[in-house]
Amino acid sequence: MKYLIIIIPIVMFCISAMPSCIFVLLFNNELKSLPVMFRELDASARKAAAGSLASPNDEVGEVKNTKESKESINASMCSSIFITFIINLAPIALILGEIFYSKDLNERFGILHGWLYYGSSRAPQLAEITMNSVLSILALTGLNARFVNYTEQFNAIQTKLDQLIENNDALLRGKGDLPPCFEYDSGIDSIHYTDVCTIDDNSSAGTHDAYRCASLNQNIITFQGFVNEILKKIDLFTSLDSDVMYHLIHISNNHMFQKIMASSDRIAEVSVEKYDSAMNVLMVFLICGLILSIFILVCMFCITKKMNGEYSAALVLIRRVQPQSIITDSHLTNYLLNKESQKNNFEMTLSNAVIFNSDDSIICLSKAGIIEIVNPAVTKLLGFTPEQLLGQPTTTLLAHESTDVVMNQLDLMRNGQSTNVYEDHIICTTDNDTQIPCHITILGIKNETDDSISSIVIILHDETDALDKQKEAEEAKRTQEAEEAKRTQEAEEAKRTQEAEEAKKQSENLLYQILPQDIVLRLNQGEVDISFTVPSASIIFIDIVRFSEYMATLTPQQTMTNLSQIFASIDVTGSKYPLLTKIKLIGDVYMAATGLFSPDDQPKNHAEAIIKFGLDALNELDDLNMKLNSNLAVRIGVNSGGPILAGVLGTDKPVFDIIGDTINVASRLQSTCVPGQVQISQATYDLVHDMDFFIEPRGEVFLKGKGKQQAYLVKPKIASVFKSTDYEFSDQAKE
């Protein structure tokens, strides 16, 4: 907006004032040129034109009168330009006044709109708080209605109360760019801050008397206190029959709604008053604009009439000049005919026109080699004037290294030993001894009676630009070749770099298949003897039941293919769990762990992830049985705990492995598990018992080397739901 306030006056001034001022200036300059042309007339013409208006013998008086007329024209020009400037500046000032007033008016209405918004929004918020308070107590005291929820009503009371206080503060104290309404209007201030009556100083006055005569702002504070008391002691309410509820409903209905509506109505009235006042001011602007337009029209009419009178007076002076005097004066003739003055008034032959109008430098020599004619292009090229060259030998124009070549060729032409046309590239010398490369063409002009040479013509063409362009082309070619070579080299280097990066990437990918990513990163950073302790992790063992018997039915190649397909499917399943780390394969046993590289996570996170992985592995095996036309089953054991020692073993063929008693327990749980189930330990159960799994206690299971320990079988909850549903359907069928 601030930029438009600057740009609009400038644009309007350029559109209106500048053309008018320029027109007046050009007109007055033309008037000033007329006395000058009259003064340049000869004495007889001036006397004949003056007649009885001036003394016939007073030349000085004529000049003096001319000077006085010029001064009068200057004064008239200044006054016209000043008046034109002023009458064009006045509308701009008026428009700027309208812009600034409209901007200020828009800001005022924006403030009133904000006050009206915050003031009027208090009424529905007051009603909602009262209604929600009643409904919350009814819901708490046993109201049997599905549409009433105690928690929702309680939260709604708190939210609406905060909004009521926030809107009241925004109105009375301002918010952001919105100023407070305090002291803007006495009516608004009276509603919010002036008590409606006076309470006698009596100690027996009750709660109702405390807010009966209070202002709207004080009523809102009292209302807030009632609501806060209800929120704090809502559990103590057994019905709506309480003093707090009576006062809450009474103050909102009988003392606050009317004042809030009166406040909003007063703000609306102030807005209407401001609007009416603004319309009156804009009407004044409109009337001033109309008056100013009429004034400008009259001023422009007067200026135009004045200029027409001045121009008519000038035409009268021209009419007093004799026609013979006008014809003999070129300036006056060109002015009357609106033509430019002619610079070249002489005529030339066709051959001379060709020579003098040629862009090339043409030099005509005598048979002896003396310069006789030069065209203007020679001066433009070499700087020599015709006076400096006429009568001089040809060597005056030639550099030392080109003199012998040109003179020998002239001798051959004069002796009839060469053709009459010769072209070459030479170096010429300018008047300041600067050398210029030129293309020379020598023409031998023969006599009409015999074949002897009568004169010689030399044509010179400047080759500076052509040679510069040739050098630029050669330089560009060399640059292009260098850039192509550089691009080729960069492409080869990029190819080698890409091949090296691909090789490195392949090596890293291979390493990622052997070791965990975190371990690979530490190895790339140069670490050796990598080992660390994990405070808590979850271990899983997945064993294919009776895989040896299954192998007996397959060829060795089929066995390895199917086993690879099974483990690859389990790997794909494990890739969905970021916490999971594959440890190793021991024959037909798949070992993995979670939580090895996330010590800051809660133990229940890695326990949940590894159980979900085991359940997904069971589902994946069902799909593989259909693909492989087999009936394979797996036993899955899971244990959680720590500490666990992890690290890289070996240097030639590094292997990542983990060691700890937690791993042995997981292996024992797998070996004692029921096929097609996930068996977990007590430690794992303690971490996931409240999660979305169906867990059945299996009882105590004897674990080799560990004795009897409590074990659990895990299924997803959705399976248990389907199972219960099947039982219900079967029971109904029996009935």
- Please determine, for residue 711, whether its predicted confidence score (pLDDT) is greater than 90: yes
Instruction: Categorize the per-residue pLDDT at 608 as very low, low, confident or very high, splitting at 50, 70 and 90.
Output: very high
DSSP assigned state of 320: T
How far is the C-alpha of 601 from the C-alpha of 538, rounded, in Å?
Answer: 12
Instruction: Categorize the per-residue pLDDT at 237 as very low, low, confident or very high, splitting at 50, 70 and 90.
Output: confident
Instruction: Categorize the per-residue pLDDT at 311 as very low, low, confident or very high, splitting at 50, 70 and 90.
Output: confident
Query: Would you state the pLDDT for residue 543?
Result: 93
CB atoms within 10 A of CB 91: 17
Instruction: Categorize the per-residue pLDDT at 63 as very low, low, confident or very high, splitting at 50, 70 and 90.
Output: very low
Q: Which residues contact 216 (CB under 8 A, 6 or more apart)?
A: 191, 192, 256, 259, 260, 263
- Please determine, for residue 166, whether its predicted confidence score (pLDDT) is greater than 70: yes
Say if CB 72 and CB 110 are below 8 A apart: no
Which whole-number Å values give the CA distances from 460 to 381, 427, 440, 488, in the listed order? 9, 10, 5, 46
Query: Would you state the pLDDT for residue 706?
Result: 86
Task: Determine the length of the chain.
Answer: 735
Residue type for position 177: D
Instruction: Categorize the per-residue pLDDT at 350 as very low, low, confident or very high, splitting at 50, 70 and 90.
Output: low
Question: Mean pLDDT over residues 422-451, rounded?
Answer: 88
Instruction: Categorize the per-residue pLDDT at 359 as very low, low, confident or very high, splitting at 50, 70 and 90.
Output: confident
How far is the C-alpha of 307 from the C-alpha of 28, rounded, in Å?
Answer: 9
From 469, 458, 467, 434, select the one nearest 377 (Cα to Cα). 458
pLDDT digits 0-9 by tens, 118-136: 888 888 988 888 888 888 8
Query: Would you state the pLDDT for residue 735?
Result: 37
Say if CB 456 and CB 445 are below 8 A apart: yes
Q: Which residues contact 418 (CB under 8 A, 6 or more apart)?
A: 409, 412
- Please determine, for residue 56, whether its predicted confidence score (pLDDT) is greater than 70: no
Query: Would you state the pLDDT for residue 300?
Result: 80
How far is the C-alpha of 112 from the C-alpha of 184, rounded, in Å?
Answer: 10
How far is the C-alpha of 144 from the C-alpha of 138, rounded, in Å?
Answer: 9
Query: Would you state the pLDDT for residue 733?
Result: 35
pLDDT digits 0-9 by tens, 516-556: 777 777 777 767 778 888 999 999 999 999 888 888 888 88
How far is the C-alpha of 694 from the C-alpha of 469, rounded, in Å?
Answer: 88
H or E segment and range at residue 120: helix 59-120
Instruction: Categorize the per-residue pLDDT at 722 as very low, low, confident or very high, splitting at 50, 70 and 90.
Output: very low
Lowest-confidence segment of 124-138, 330-344, 353-367 by average pLDDT: 330-344
Domains of the chain and CATH, by start: 118-275 (no CATH), 356-469 (3.30.450.20), 517-715 (3.30.70.1230)
Query: Would you state the pLDDT for residue 60?
Result: 37
Mean pLDDT in the chain?
81
DSSP assigned state of 422: E
User: What percentage of the chain reaches a pLDDT higher than 90?
Assistant: 21
H or E segment and range at residue 732: helix 717-734
430 vs 154, residue with greater confidence: 430
How far is the C-alpha of 456 from the C-alpha of 366, rounded, in Å?
Answer: 6
Question: Mean pLDDT over residues 141-158, rounded?
Answer: 72
**3-state DSSP assignment of residue 461:** strand
From 214, 224, 166, select the one nearest 191 (Cα to Cα). 214
- Please determine, for residue 265, whether its predicted confidence score (pLDDT) is greater than 60: yes
Pairing verdict, β 453-462 and 531-534: unpaired
- The span from the first CA to the last CA of the chain, in angstroms, equals 84
User: What percentage of the chain reaches a pLDDT higher than 70?
Assistant: 84
From 594, 588, 592, select the one nearest 543 (Cα to Cα). 588
From 222, 126, 227, select the one nearest 167 (Cα to Cα). 126
Instruction: Categorize the per-residue pLDDT at 2 as very low, low, confident or very high, splitting at 50, 70 and 90.
Output: low
Question: Mean pLDDT over residues 17-28, rounded?
Answer: 73
Which whole-number Å values give the CA distances from 547 to 73, 510, 544, 562, 629, in the listed order? 121, 29, 6, 11, 15
Query: Would you state the pLDDT for residue 726?
Result: 42
Query: Would you state the pLDDT for residue 719?
Result: 46
508 vs 638, residue with greater confidence: 638
Say if CB 164 and CB 178 are below 8 A apart: no
